[in-house]
């Protein structure tokens, strides 16, 4: 365990479902991130939160909705996803934005 915990590890959902990914860190970090990793592509930054305020929204479709209720928790709410959204979704945290990342183990999402 790295100190950043993601649940679930695997998720299969239909295109009409609604689900949420959860990320939790107790490292005392101030920034949290969602990344998408698809096959043969670089990691894509989706969202950045610093001190619970969203500071980056990287042109992500509205079917992905982040929530950061406090500095230790980050959620990614999913609804009406497409098959091309199937990917590994990685959460990370850092003491300061862009420095000293700790990644979670990821959620492998399959949209059917």
Q: Least distance to other proteins from the beta carbon of 16, Å?
A: 27
- Which residues make up the interface to other proteins (CB under 8 A)? 2, 40-43, 45, 48, 56, 58, 88, 90, 92, 97-103, 105-106, 108
Q: If you compute the radius of gyration of the chain from its CA atoms, what whole number of angstroms results?
A: 13
Residue with smaller CB distance to other proteins, 79 or 108: 108
Task: Name the DSSP letter for residue 84.
Answer: G
Q: Toward other proteins, which CB reaches closer, 16 or 53? A: 53
Distance from first CA to last CA of the chain, Å, rounded?
Answer: 30
Nearer to other proteins, 13 or 97 (CB): 97
Choice between 36 and 78, CB closer to other proteins: 36
Burial class of 88 by CB neighbour count within 10 A (0 to 12, 13 to 18, 19+): middle
Biggest distance spanned by C-alpha atoms of the chain: 37
Least CB distance from residue 10 to other proteins, whole Å? 11
């Amino acid at each position: 365990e790295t100190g950043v915990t993601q649940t679930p590890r695997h998720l299969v959902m239909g295109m009409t479902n609604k689900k949420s990914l959860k990320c939790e860190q107790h490292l005392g970090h101030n920034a949290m991130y969602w990344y998408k990793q698809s096959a043969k592509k670089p990691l894509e930054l989706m969202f950045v939160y610093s001190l619970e305020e969203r500071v980056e929204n990287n042109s992500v479709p509205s079917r992905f909705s982040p929530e950061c209720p406090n500095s230790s928790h980050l959620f990614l709410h999913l609804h009406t996803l497409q098959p091309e959204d199937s990917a590994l979704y990685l959460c990370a945290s850092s003491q300061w934005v862009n420095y000293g990342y700790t990644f979670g183990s990821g959620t492998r999402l399959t949209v059917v």
